[in-house]
A and B are shown apart, each in its own frame.
Chain A
């Protein structure tokens, strides 16, 4: 009377073929099935990450001789990078610009994320999309639009001049580290807003009501409950801005001017005009190491800080 499909019965025991054993192992191991499913993605991603980075590291120990690459291993590039002060100066400037940008972007984005998390009740989705929409559109065009605004004859200068407010264009606006910071802050705002918003949205509202019930005013409530609970979002946001912006070269090229050259510009020219790929690889690796060390230290310090609060 049963309508269920017939069951494929397999003989158990030593008579089983290796295929059936393999099948049994596959059925028994959830991990194996999981990794089988994951394998296309993992293989592609691992290959596309590991192989290039192996070459990158190898390349940094090679040297450029004319149009050829000498594959004898040497530390010459690292020696050169350590000796020439320009590399260090540019790296420090890049770190400084990105650091400033990360701090300012997080500071300005926090209230925005806070507003949407706590005070928007209707059409929250629209607000979230509006906050993050520009991020998905062309990075190049967004940076370019700041060149249009801040330029020597750009929107601000020409606008102020036509209104008769200034005689000469304000030069500090374009081709300066300030211009880079403003442009980057605009370009990366979504990376700050989203993690902060998520961490704020996760806060149980009854915790804030409990704090109010126990006598805390709005400011005390914010400092004693909201801020500590949203710190993970703040930390994530600052790193998500700091790390990629150190390696940006479009923004310095378009709005930075000579005082705004960053380390990534230097890396880029090694692959272009200078044509010294090994040196480019060395600089890229040095930049990653420094950024990595700073990030790890930052995460470690902020964990300690959070533990102390908690």
Chain B
């Protein structure tokens, strides 16, 4: 590990601030698990007895199971489609000199900066004008649309992280495009693909706004949670469910980001002199 230079030496007040900032990010979220173990219908202090009955209640909830299955289906489909589209797009924009690269990338990245409600209502109008009934398919369409920019961003970074000459070397040694992809590109980009799958799955799994406008009679998990918020009696169950979702999301996202970061670090190690 390199030692700190004069410019990068320890700054205690700043470090304190950084820890406070992390607390601001994480403490609010921790109230969900805290109250989910509280033996009271009301979410307020002082805490009553410890209980796991809200979890038992949640796991017994049949509509919740259905919603969970819906979310899993949509999430897996979204992850696969968005990542495939991301691989095509990322390879094309990093490996070819194409005229109009900037506007093309801008178009693909646009969903990042358009308010979700606008994307949601615009797609709702489209599918209803086309006479397509709202279903999990329409939700998946919406989720793919907002996930592709993230998949592209991860994969572009990964493609830029390894030298184009690797693929040229494979072609030079006799591999056609197909073999070059499977023997060189894919193994090197693989951590990025995995990170993209995990991240786009999480985005879809947690997404609410698009699903709000585009789902039919089958709710996804966030839509189901939203519908439960109206009933005070159901709140503790929502807290339990929310806690589980948060924990799972945290683990999945941490894994995906770790893969992404480690992958990037490994590539840069390899391209520098030992």
Contact, chains A and B (beta carbon distance below 8 A) = yes
Question: Which residues of chain A from 146 to 171 have any CB-CB distance to chain B below 8 Å in the complex?
Answer: 146, 148-149, 151, 153-155, 157-159, 161-162
A38 interface residue (CB < 8 Å to B): yes
Tell which of A35, A49, A151, A280 touches B92, judged by Cβ atoms closer than 8 Å.
A35
Interface bits B91-103 vs A (CB < 8 Å: 1, else 0): 1110111110000
B165-180 vs A, Cβ < 8 Å mask (1 yes, 0 no): 0000000001000000
Chain A residue contacts of B225, Cβ below 8 A: 140-141, 144
Chain A interface main SS type: helix
B14 at the interface (CB under 8 A from A): yes
B242 sits at the interface (CB 8 A): yes
B52-60, B61-69, B108-116, B186-194 - the one binding chain A: B108-116
- Are B199 and A136 in contact, CB atoms less than 8 angstroms apart? yes
Expressed in whole angstroms, the minimum distance between the Cβ of B61 and any Cβ of chain A is: 17
Quick check: A51 and B45 within 8 Å, CB to CB?
no
Q: Chain A contact residues (Cβ within 8 angstroms of B): what range?
A: 35 or more
Label chain B's interface by main secondary structure.
helix
B35 to chain A: which residues have CB within 8 Å? 148, 155
* B118 contacts the other chain (CB 8 A): yes
Query: Most chain-B Cβ atoms within 10 A of its Cβ — which of A52, A158, A277?
Result: A52
A134 near B117 (CB under 8 angstroms)? Answer: no
Tell whether A31 is near chain B: CB-to-CB under 8 Å: yes
Q: Is the CB of B174 within 8 A of A119?
A: no
Contacts of A209 in B (CB 8 A): 5-7
* B206 located at the interface, meaning its Cβ lies under 8 Å from any Cβ of chain A in the complex: yes
Interface pair B97/A137, CB less than 8 Å apart:
no
Residues on A lying within 8 angstroms of B by beta carbon are: 4-5, 30-31, 33-35, 37-42, 44-46, 48-49, 51-53, 55-56, 59, 108-109, 111-112, 114-116, 118-119, 121-122, 125, 128-134, 136-142, 144-146, 148-149, 151, 153-155, 157-159, 161-162, 186, 189, 205, 208-209, 212, 239-240, 243-244, 246-250, 254, 264, 267-268, 271, 277, 280-281, 284, 287-288, 291
- With A125-B265, A212-B7 already in contact, 8 other A-B pairs whose C-beta atoms are closer than 8 Å: A5-B174, A49-B110, A121-B3, A136-B203, A140-B226, A155-B31, A247-B115, A248-B115
